[in-house]
Structure 1
Amino acid sequence: MRKSAFLLPAIAVILIGIASSVFIVDERQKVLVLQFGQIVRVQEEPGLGFKLPVIQNVVRYDDRILSRDLDPLEVTPSDDRRLVVDAFARYRIADVERFRQAVGDGGEEAAARRLDSILRAETREVLGSVSSNDILSIDRAALMLRIRNGAIAEANALGLQVIDVRLKRTDLPPENLNATYERMKAEREREAADEIARGNEAAQRVRATADRTVVELVSDATRQAEITRGEADAERNAIFADAFGADPEFFEFYRSMTAYARALNPGSTSMVMSPDSEFFNYLKSDQGAAGN
């Protein structure tokens, strides 16, 4: 009885010691074995692990990719149009020893707060170097890559690996919306006025070219018409000259009769002239006198 009284507590102490010296590493975790606060061993492979009971303890850290949402951040781009930016980061604990040395007992939450400060500072620096149009455009992957690359070095000092940084939402502060809309409206109106002015200038050039072309065409057509009319008049005069040259007396008679026909219209002509005028030569001829 006396032996069993000592044996049972000894067995219990041994079992408790064995139980406290064994730990399980989950595949989603990394484990540090600490002795009096100092790192003794790192175990990243899943399975069973062993430690000295009482004097050693185990600290577990998440080995998965973690996400961190940043609080809304106000930035001032290069064109002084303030913006409110929402961003998030994806990261993981890459080096648990360095991580422990950097954050101590603060753990993952303390590291996340320090990572927030790093990302906020880098976001302000990157977005402050570009215009608001670049930030608001759909093609801003290069800006997010610059933020991630800028944060990598400082995050590595914490034992963290920054995998990705994304801008979720980019808005104007409520107090700046109206002023920004009015400025955008004024810019668009100015651009529209410039386009209208350029269009009017182009229209004037086209109109002037068309007017010059019309003048040139009309001048050329008039010149061709005058040439044709002159040639026709010359040909007509040549025909008349040939015809009247065959009988000059008849030509003179015909010309006088034509003049009489044009001058002596019935009921509308009054003439005062000397009876000896050459105009009446053919009326004073013997044939004309006999007719009268």
Structure 2
Amino acid sequence: MKRLTYLLPIGIVAVAIIMASVFIVDEREKALVLQFGQIKRVKEDPGIALKIPLIQEVVYYDDRILALDTDTIEVTPSDDRRLVVDAFARYRIEDVVKFRQAVGVGGLPAAETRLSSILNAQIREVLGADQVTSDTILSEDRRVLMNRIRDQAQVQARALGLNVVDVRLKQTNLPEQNLNATFERMRAEREREAADEIARGNEAAQRVRAQADRTVVELVSESQKEAEIVRGEADAERNGIFAAAYGADPEFFEFYRSLSAYEGAIKGENSSLVIAPDSEFFDYFNGAQGTAK
């Protein structure tokens, strides 16, 4: 009985020591075994491992890809149009030993503070470089700029044991005080472009209208020319018919021409004709004795 009394505490202590000696690394983690603050071992593979209890401790670090949003900053591209920019980055702890040595007990908060400073510095450097305008930053070409920021930030982040996987610009806007001036300038440019388009349209319409007027004049002139030719040919044919009729029966032709003259001269309700009754004009109105009827 006494032996059982002694063995029970020993067993409890032994179990406690075993439990304190065992640690488990999750597949989403990496672990460092520290002894009095010094790195003794790195455990990157998931599974169970041992450590010296009370002397060694285990520090876990996330092995997944993490996200970081940078602070909003102002940059000045080469065209001197200031932009408000912020970004987000995807990063991963690649070397836990360098990471521990760089940030110490500060862990992820300290690492993200330093990484954010690196990213902001690279954003200012890349977006403020020569040949980089605000139009480039606001266009689809900024993908090249984001890759350049990522590559340059990655070089400095290696000293922290980090791997910068990706960098994206979330916001690229004009400062509030510059928006109105920019909008006015954009409006003026669009109005100028609209005025140019209207002027070009009016010029084209004037050319079309002038061409149409010219075509109308040419068509009318050609039609009048053809009409005059037809009319001349008809008059010639009519005169030929008259001449043939006159040659066939001169007396009838003279009678017909006199009737046409009477019809043209004595026409209308208010027509007046002053002429001597014995005039040759009335030859076909005179009787046998030459008196007018």
Q: How does the TM-score come out when normalised to structure 1?
A: 0.75
Alignment coverage as a number of residue pairs: 280
Structure-1 residue corresponding to 2:273: 269
The reply to whether residue 63 of structure 1 matches residue 63 of structure 2 is: yes
Which has the higher mean CA deviation after the structures are superposed, 190-199 or 9-18? 9-18
Question: Distance in 2 between the 1:48 and 1:199 partners?
Answer: 80
The letter for the 2-side match of 1:176 is N
Contact 1:283 1:289 (8 Å CA) reproduced: no
Return the letter of the residue paired with 2:122: E
Work out the percentage of aligned pairs sharing the same amino acid: 67
- Report whether the alignment pairs 1:170 with 2:167: no
Aligned partner letter, 1:185: R
RMSD over aligned Cα, in angstroms? Answer: 4.1
Partner of 2:243: 241
* Partner AA of 1:81 in structure 2: R
Greater Cα shift, 110-119 or 244-253: 244-253
Equivalent-residue separation in structure 1 for 2:213 and 2:266 (angstroms):
50
Name the CA distance, whole Å, in 2 between partners of 1:151 and 1:206: 61
Q: Could you tell me how far 1:71 is from its partner in structure 2?
A: 0.8
Point out where structure 1 has 5 or more consecutive residues left out of the alignment. 1-6, 273-278
Greater shift, 54-63 or 196-205, is seen at 54-63
Q: Which deviations, in whole Å up to 9, do the C-alpha atoms of 1:187-212 show, x marking residues without a partner?
A: 22122212212221222222222222
CA–CA distance in 2 between the matches of 1:282 and 1:173? 105
Which residue, 209, 212, 227 being the options, matches 1:210? 212
What is the aligned partner in structure 2 of residue 4 from structure 1?
Answer: none
Q: 1:260 to 1:199 in 2, by over 3 A?
A: closer
Deviation at 1:30, TM superposition (A): 1.3
Distance (Å, rounded) in 2 between the aligned partners of 1:116 and 1:253: 121
- The farther-off stretch of 249-258 and 161-170 is 249-258
User: 1:45 is paired with a residue of what secondary structure?
Assistant: coil
Residue 151 of structure 1 is aligned with which of 150, 153, 160? 153
What is the Cα deviation at residue 35 of structure 1?
Answer: 4.9
Q: CA deviation at 1:157?
A: 3.6
Aligned position for 1:223: 225
Residue 104 of structure 1 and its aligned partner are, at CA, apart by 4.2
Shift of 1:258: 5.3
Alignment-derived partner of residue 276 in structure 1: none
| Pairing 1:1-292 to 2, within 5 Å after superposition | 21-35=21-35, 38-52=38-52, 56-128=56-128, 130-136=132-138, 143-248=145-250, 251=253, 255=257, 268-270=272-274, 280=279, 290-292=289-291
Deviates more, 1:260-269 or 1:103-112: 260-269
Q: Does the Cα contact within 8 Å between 1:87 and 1:166 map onto a contact in 2?
A: yes
Which range is displaced more, 262-271 or 214-223?
262-271
Report how far residue 235 of structure 1 moved.
1.3
Query: 1:283 Cα shift?
Result: 6.9
User: Contact 1:67/1:89 (CA < 8 Å) preserved in 2?
Assistant: yes
Structure 2 runs not aligned, ≥5 long: 1-6
Deviation at 1:117, TM superposition (A): 2.1
The Cα shift of 1:16 comes to: 7.9
Query: How far off its partner does 1:20 sit?
Result: 5.8
Amino acid in structure 1 at the alignment position of 2:289? A
Deviation at 1:243, TM superposition (A): 1.0
The TM-score, its normalising length taken from structure 2, stands at: 0.74
Per-residue CA distance 1:143-167 (angstroms, 9 max, x = gap)? 5444334433332343212223233
Contact residue 282 and residue 288 of structure 1 kept, 8 A: no
